[in-house]
Amino acid sequence: MNPEDITVAGVRTALASGSSTAEAITRACLDRIAAHDDTIHAFLAVFADRAIERAGAVDARIAGGESPESIGAMAGVPVAIKDNICLDHGRTTAASVMLEAYESPFSATAAARLEDAGAIILGKTNLDEFGMGSSCEYSAFGATRNPWDISRTPGGSSGGSAAAVAAGFVPVAIGSDTGGSVRQPAAMCGCVGLKPSYGTVSRHGLIAYASSLDQIGPMTRTVEDAAAVLEVIAGADADDATCLDRPAPKLTHDLHEPVEGLKIAVPRQAQADAVDPMVRLIFGMSCKVFAELGAELMEVELDHAELAIPAYYTIACAEASTNLARYDGIRFGRRAEIGPNDPLEELYIRSRSEGFGPEVRRRIMLGTHALRAGFADKLYERAMRARRVIKADYDAIFRVMQADAVLTPTAPGPAFELGSRAGAPTDLYLEDTFTVGANLAGLPAISLSAGFVPSEGGSLPVGIQLTGHTHSEAKLLRIAAMFERASSVGGRVAV
């Protein structure tokens, strides 16, 4: 199998028929990584020997009479894991000097479930440090480049995972999404990115950024693969108190059944002047596709949409300030060198100043300020009130208007040039305009490739986002599959 053609279902068919082996598929992906990743820099670590060994074990079980299905739903499928998700082998760095030597003694629940289902983890992917960024430039170990145009960002913070899928290195990558970190890079790299409802996938083993917003999700080339992966990683987990006590949803059985009487809500903000004209054009074409599928398109107003970015960044930074306080050079994280006569305070200052990059330091300071006595009621508590009214806006669309999904662009523009947002953090934060609402409200959302726009380096993908009501992943994926079949845009590989 060619690496750029691999899908979850395709691997299962190839192994069952004997037309290929898990080891051959794994070696093909590793060869492609070796050939191209020096340019893309999607991976921070590749576990070639371990991957080949595990693939050989899958082949041995099949040779012994087991079917791929009996081994697991992901038997022989090459997978990449974002490097803020713990594995019990290699290092888990969160792309930070603070954790550059950290070796986790355990694997995150999501990663362990993938391996239990037969997946072959090829390596760890790059990200914005601790998941804080929208361009994958804020990694301590160098930026990732967009496979469609290497002068441009792949998006972030799960930029390495998106680039790995778009470049044909792996058919499946796992990312984390705090305010759009799965969906925005998926849009900019032309793949599928799914953020499940909060609590659907265990966060055990995910290095925390903002605990009330973080969620793990799959990045794939097809909707069907995203559904298959979510079936494996979702479900109750006693190791995560925020993970809901409910079984993993059944998503693939009825995936290709169309949704009857489909109602799509289209917010006025989706066509605002702040959205790139070419993105507005592709978004309009996407609306036309849904109309041709028989969907009723309803124009709506997200009354408090302008509050989403300030509320999100206040809450996320406040939670980051608390979560990252443990990295002080004594309890956790890299310890700086100090002189024998330096005070203990100097150890804390140097360890945190040397260990954290500029964007992480900025967000910690913003969050600490938002939680200060005398400011918390004006900033953090006000942001939490905004969060509630934003959720109420979505609830009204789903419960009162009976919409099945809300349709928007995923990002206001296509992938931008690396370095073009340097020194302008607020411009970078606005890349999350359409994605943060789903995190604030705890809703599922999926990004799909909807078309391409011209660039000097060739063409750049543009994504659309579908947001559903809580725990509507099955319906949301069916709607996404309808669009994917009708548009025939997705599934392309860049290099």
How long a stretch of residues is the chain? Answer: 495
Number of Cβ atoms within 10 Å of the Cβ of 199: 21
Catalytic pick among 158, 161, 176, 181: 181
487 is catalytic: no
Catalytic pick among 20, 82, 124, 447: 82
Cα distances (angstroms) measured from residue 71 to each of 59, 61, 67, 115, 264: 10, 8, 7, 10, 39
Sign of CA dihedral 295, 296, 301, 302: negative
Cα distances (angstroms) measured from residue 338 to each of 104, 114, 367: 27, 43, 27
Residues 151/153/159/164 CA torsion (nearest 10 deg):
-30
108 Cβ contact partners less than 8 Å away, ≥ 6 residues apart: 85, 86, 87, 202, 204, 205, 206, 216
212 is catalytic: no
Catalytic pick among 107, 135, 139, 157: 157
Let me know if 241 is exposed, middle or buried by CB neighbors in 10 A (0-12, 13-18, 19+).
exposed
151 is catalytic: no
Please give the radius of gyration of the chain, using alpha carbons only, rounded to the nearest integer: 22
| Residues with active-site annotation | 82, 157, 181
